[in-house]
Structure 1
Amino acid sequence: MNKTPSPKVAARGPVDHEVRDQIVTAATEHFRLYGYEKTTVSDLAKAIGFSKAYIYKFFESKQAIGEMICSNCLQQIQADVRAAVDEVDSPPEKLRRMLKALVESCLRLFFLDRKLYDIAASAASGRWPATLVYEAFIEQTISDILQQGRQSGDFERKTPLDETTRAIQLIMRPCFNPLLLQHGLDTTDEAPALLSSLILRSLSP
């Protein structure tokens, strides 16, 4: 699968500076305890023992810190999807594994840690860079699987590739977008299998 570039987060200072990691770690813990909206940069500064001005040397805003945390979460989902897809050779099975991994990973990262959901929700509604990279990864992964399926004869070739890719991404959207997934929690056990079967029937040559 093609690798999707990491988002450009509005961070400052040396990229590998350990203070950056301290800030992100403290912010993650505060967001888990109190929520993204209720946590201020002043709260983080007190928790770490730094001045607020010093934190601003590394991140230009609270949103920039939130974007870093969000990016880390979304990169973990991408890693889970890559691992699931790479486990099998069959394009139809790759598609099934992709959808199943998306749902399971999103549930684990966003809904078992409810306070961090605030960040995911803000990121999705605000179209933060990390979410755009995440969606581009999903689109590219679908496209790669479709191309493999067309080459193997598993999928039809008449419909334009970009049109088919976009349609499947829209069908999958309620399963990987945190704002939408929360409204379908009662169907997450059956949705991946049912949607995969529907998609695969539409792709039959």
Structure 2
Amino acid sequence: MDQFRTALLENEHSGQAVNQPERDTRQIIVDTAERFFRDIGYQKTTVADIAKSLRMSPANVYRFFDSKKAINEAVLERYKREQEEAIIAIADQDRPAADRLLEILITSFRLNAARFAGHARMQEMVCAAMEESWDAILAHIERFDAVLRRVVADGTARGEFRAIEPAHATGCIRTAMIRFMHPLLISQCECIPGPSAEEMIAFILSSLEARPERS
């Protein structure tokens, strides 16, 4: 593992971080930390590693982030922001609510699967965040729920979905999709028999669909 750290440090010394002084220093630190977390893992990465790769002192890194935990939160914030911006853009479209909900759920699954499935070191970073930064994780869940709730409410108002309390429906949807959304469960549940993400989404949409009243 020390060989990986040495190689990464050497690569960072020759990279763009020290050659682009116009870039925001906080962003440079986050970029570098993300590469370390991905290549050698969150637990094995030290603030000294990040500082050395940028030819900075650890004290200088601490001017921008008060701890490694804060750096990890910034890395995850980037991921969460990417997902949130994507699903908000979908929710804002002038399309049937069912189409938007389907795309929101499949987009969220694919983004998380691409980033975390089969990447143990990235999952380690998430585990650390869940232990050390639960408030930040909870805030992301609440923002995700707010987008779902808006789409469900719109679908109900348009008569696409059956009459249902949007907050209740949102909680049910998130719970049904947990194995396809949670960065750790995406990998851990892969060998457990069950529906695919697409099949689960189809089931959710079917359960929401408005049906003619029986005479």
Give the TM interval when normalised to the shorter protein.
0.7 to 0.9
Corresponding residue of 2:188: 183
Contact 2:69-2:132 within 8 A present in 1 as well: no
Alignment equivalent of 1:131, drawn from 118, 134, 137: 137
Query: How much does 1:112 deviate?
Result: 6.7
Contact 1:100-1:192 within 8 A present in 2 as well: yes
Contact 2:123-2:184 within 8 A present in 1 as well: no
Q: In the TM superposition, what whole-angstrom CA distance separates every residue of 1:66-101 from its partner, at most 9, and x where no partner exists?
A: 100011012112233334445560111111111111
Following superposition of structure 1 onto structure 2, how do residues 1-205 of structure 1 map, counting pairs within 5 Å? 18-86=24-92, 89-111=95-117, 114-157=120-163, 159-185=164-190, 191-205=196-210
In the alignment, residue 47 of structure 2 is paired with which amino acid? V
Q: In the TM superposition, what whole-angstrom CA distance separates every residue of 1:13-39 from its partner, at most 9, and x where no partner exists?
A: xxx982212211221121122111100
Aligned residues: 189
Structure 1 unmatched runs, 5+:
1-15
Query: How much does 1:59 deviate?
Result: 0.7
CA distance in 2, matches of 1:22, 1:150: 45
Contact 1:80-1:105 within 8 A present in 2 as well: no
Contact 2:149-2:167 within 8 A present in 1 as well: yes
Contact 1:35-1:115 within 8 A present in 2 as well: yes
Q: In the TM superposition, what whole-angstrom CA distance separates every residue of 1:163-203 from its partner, at most 9, and x where no partner exists?
A: 2221111112221111221223358xx62221122112221
- 1:60 match: secondary structure: coil
In the alignment, residue 85 of structure 2 is paired with which amino acid? A
Structure 2 unmatched runs, 5+:
1-21, 211-215
Corresponding residue of 1:8: none
CA distance in 1, matches of 2:116, 2:88: 19
- 1:178 match: secondary structure: coil
TM-score by length of 1: 0.80
TM-score by length of 2: 0.77
CA distance in 1, matches of 2:187, 2:55: 36
Please tell me the root mean square deviation across aligned C-alpha atoms, in Å: 2.6
Quick one: structure 1 residues 128 and 167, their matched pair in 2 at CA, closer, same or farther if it must change by over 3 Å? same
- Whichever of the two has the greater Rg, that structure is 2
CA distance in 2, matches of 1:70, 1:96: 24
